[in-house]
């Protein structure tokens, strides 16, 4: 079964859903160079390693450090893949390991593609999103889903902070920007933006 989820002349996005929490794992691949990155090594490491081999993945980017997003990291690192996470969420990876830190506004090169790192605290202290330069794709982890923000009831979560993250760091993008979250279906910025006041009123 094909894993291709979205593509244009320059890039491919592949998606698989893994583990008991139905985590979305994405691979962003540069068509010109064949280089790729994997977002969130969540679970089912054998499946992810096969996908990485097929698609030319060079490294792993973690949107945040919650347990359901990091289960495949030990196998990925053992196979030689570098794992990147924010310094703020690195303590959550102490048992599985990591290799490098990612910082807000850093630009990750994937062949000819450029991914902009966006710090989105609120779900965790170090949650990140990734925006593809010049392409309306935003990988939001567990910060923004269809229907609202991610859960802020866990340790390190804060509702006011996640609302600020969404408002100031995500809703600046055009309405046609595709939101690819850590679980569930895609949405768009334009679909979610009108509901901000509802989310604030309900408090989650």
pLDDT at residue 1 in the model: 55
Q: Whose CA is closest to 82, among 58, 66, 102?
A: 58
Q: What is the token pair recorded at 41?
A: 């090594």
CA distance linking residue 187 with residue 167, whole number of Å: 16
Q: Whose CA is closest to 136, among 192, 179, 177?
A: 177
pLDDT at residue 68 in the model: 98
pLDDT in tens, 10-19: 999 999 999 9
Please answer whether residues 45 and 29 qualify as being in contact, where contact means their C-beta atoms are separated by less than 8 angstroms.
no
Residue 4 has pLDDT above 90, yes or no: yes
Count of domains forming the chain: 1
pLDDT in tens, 95-147: 999 999 999 999 999 999 999 999 999 999 999 999 999 999 999 999 999 99
Query: Is residue 153 very low, low, confident or very high in pLDDT (cuts 50, 70, 90)?
Result: very high
pLDDT in tens, 33-87: 999 999 999 999 999 999 999 999 999 999 999 999 999 999 999 999 999 999 9
Q: What angle do CA 59, 39, 32 make, to 5 degrees?
A: 65
Q: What is the token pair recorded at 197?
A: 């006041």
Domain range for 75: 4-202
DSSP for residue 135: S
pLDDT at residue 75 in the model: 98
Q: Whose CA is closest to 165, among 119, 202, 109?
A: 119
Task: Tell me the CATH number at 138.
Answer: 3.60.15.10
């Amino acid at each position: 079964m094909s894993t291709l989820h979205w593509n244009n002349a320059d890039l491919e996005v592949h998606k698989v859903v893994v583990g008991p929490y139905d985590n979305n794992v994405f691979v962003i691949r540069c068509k010109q160079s064949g280089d790729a990155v994997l977002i969130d090594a969540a679970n089912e490491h054998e499946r992810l390693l096969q996908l990485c081999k097929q698609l030319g993945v060079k490294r792993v980017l973690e949107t945040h450090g919650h347990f359901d997003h990091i289960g495949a990291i030990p196998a990925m690192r053992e196979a030689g893949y570098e794992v990147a996470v924010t310094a703020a969420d690195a303590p959550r990876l102490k048992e599985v390991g990591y290799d490098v830190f990612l910082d807000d506004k850093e630009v990750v090169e994937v062949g000819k593609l450029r991914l902009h790192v966006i710090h989105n605290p609120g779900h965790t202290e170090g949650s990140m999103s990734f925006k593809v330069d010049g392409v309306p794709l935003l990988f939001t982890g567990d910060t923004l889903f269809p229907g609202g923000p991610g859960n802020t009831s866990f340790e390190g979560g804060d509702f006011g902070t996640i609302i600020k993250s969404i408002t100031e760091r995500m809703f600046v993008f055009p309405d046609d920007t595709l939101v690819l979250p850590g679980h569930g279906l895609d949405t768009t910025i334009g679909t979610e933006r009108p509901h901000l006041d509802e989310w604030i009123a309900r408090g989650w």
